[in-house]
Amino acid sequence: MSRVEPKNLPPFREAGRGRSLIDRRVDPHPSQAEGEGSRAYRNARKRSAIPFTPMKQRKLRDLSVSAMGLGCMGMSEFYGSRDDAHSMSTLHRALDLGVNFLDTADMYGPFTNEQLVGRAIRDRRDSAVLATKFGNMRGADGSFAGVSGHPDYVRKACDASLQRLGLDHIDLYYQHRVDTNVPIEETVGAMSELVRAGKVRHLGLSEAASQTIRRANAVHPITALQTEYSLWSRDPEDEILPTVRELGIGFVAYSPIGRGFLSGGFKSLDDLEPTDWRRANPRFQGDNFQKNLDVDRRTTRHRLGHVPRRRHRPDPRQQDHRPPRRERRRGRGYLHRRGTGAHRRRPAEGRGSR
């Protein structure tokens, strides 16, 4: 198929129909599809008149973000090898689709993930809500050097992040892990100076306990708390969710797909690359893995209706029509959604490469 230049494509809101938002592709306008009788022509005709459904928005206190965010950590580290070109097109595609809430941290990479995300949004800064984090200290060689919430460190970390991102401000700045040796009031005090200096717009915490959240919020309004929350991580429900609800703080759920496990992304550790950090995660060790697989089979298959379908359909704007990384790596079947919302697996063979 010949490459269709982006300028020949219809406005995005004219594309997509009856599919999950993330799965919508910008199809060639009927007049540019290959031949009137072709399937591409018929599909493009069907889609071109359908109104665009905008991405839902959520309020994190007074910060408005897309309901679906894009966590960028795995693009640079932890989940196997990286492919910056692929990640860059994912980032741009997300922004095109209205997913504007991008999450990174100085420690991801280390440091390279901020550079990647910064490059992706530099020319479209106004269409992104950029969140990054400080506090987990790492060496350039990747070593972990503990946690710091010292005011001096907060100031230095912020300047370094801004430089790597190539931006003049951060929309949401989180403390990644609470430093139990530094009173939270001092850390958040330093973070609030960054707001006054215009370097940061909103403050957040990650994995903080209820009392810490209250004390922090008394120093400066906390916009968001980021903590793991998914079908298999329910811990925040006891204390954390009631606290943030009471204080008007937004909750950002990280690893909502259980680090890829809940979507059937891998069925054994052999499915992961040798360097994949998940190989060392206790949830995936020994018997735990099998127990989690059993629970996953019983519960999640019917409840992941919100997970965007990821059937590969070549994007005519990309010269390199590569399937998602997971498919390339393992050539396996993956989650499918049927009209009724029921899920089933079918092997990659026979599915074609639509």
In the complex, least distance from residue 35 CB atom to ligand NAP, rounded to whole angstroms: 33
Tell whether residue 337 is a contact of ligand NAP (CB under 6 A).
no
Report residue 244 as tokens: 């943030």
What mask of x and - would describe binding to ligand NAP in positions 191 to 230, judged by CB under 6 A?
---------------xx------------------x----
243 vs 263, beta carbon nearer ligand NAP: 263
Tell whether residue 310 is a contact of ligand NAP (CB under 6 A).
yes
39 vs 344, beta carbon nearer ligand NAP: 344
Does the annotation count 108 as an active-site position?
yes
Q: What distance in Å separates the CA atoms of residue 227 and residue 236, rounded to the nearest whole number?
A: 8
Residue from 260, 272, 316, 337 in contact with ligand NAP (CB under 6 A): 260
What 333-336 contacts at long range (C-beta under 8 Å, 24+ apart), as own/partner pairs, is 334/263, 334/264, 334/265, 334/310, 335/263, 335/264, 335/304, 335/307, 335/309, 335/310, 336/309, 336/311
Cβ partners under 8 Å of residue 232, min gap 6: 258, 261, 262, 292, 295, 296
- Which residue blocks in the chain are alpha helix, DSSP H? 39-48, 84-97, 112-121, 151-165, 184-196, 210-219, 240-247, 286-299, 325-330
Phi, psi of 137 (to 5 degrees): -85, 135
Tell whether residue 323 is a contact of ligand NAP (CB under 6 A).
no
Report residue 108 as tokens: 């991801």
Please name which of 335, 342, 279, 288 lies closest in space to residue 307, comparing C-alpha atoms. 335
16 vs 30, beta carbon nearer ligand NAP: 16
17 vs 329, beta carbon nearer ligand NAP: 329
Restricting to residues 61-80, name those near ligand NAP by CB under 6 A: 71-74, 79
Report residue 252 as tokens: 């950002």
In the complex, least distance from residue 336 CB atom to ligand NAP, rounded to whole angstroms: 10
Q: What distance in Å separates the CA atoms of residue 254 and residue 224, rounded to the nearest whole number?
A: 12
14 vs 106, beta carbon nearer ligand NAP: 106
Q: 258 with 230: CB under 8 angstroms?
A: yes
Cβ partners under 8 Å of residue 214, min gap 6: 243, 247
In the complex, least distance from residue 71 CB atom to ligand NAP, rounded to whole angstroms: 2
Residue from 11, 324, 331, 341 in contact with ligand NAP (CB under 6 A): 324
In the complex, least distance from residue 70 CB atom to ligand NAP, rounded to whole angstroms: 8
Residue from 12, 52, 251, 254 in contact with ligand NAP (CB under 6 A): 254
Dihedral of alpha carbons 110, 116, 119, 125, sign:
negative
Tell whether residue 148 is a contact of ligand NAP (CB under 6 A).
no
Q: What distance in Å separates the CA atoms of residue 186 and residue 21, rounded to the nearest whole number?
A: 42
What mask of x and - would describe binding to ligand NAP in positions 92 to 131, judged by CB under 6 A?
-----------x----------------------------
What mask of x and - would describe binding to ligand NAP in positions 160 to 189, judged by CB under 6 A?
----------------x-------------
Q: What is the DSSP letter of 13?
A: G
Residues that bind ligand NAP (CB under 6 A): 71-74, 79, 103, 176, 206-207, 226, 254-260, 263, 265, 307-308, 310, 324-326, 335
Which residue numbers are catalytic? 108
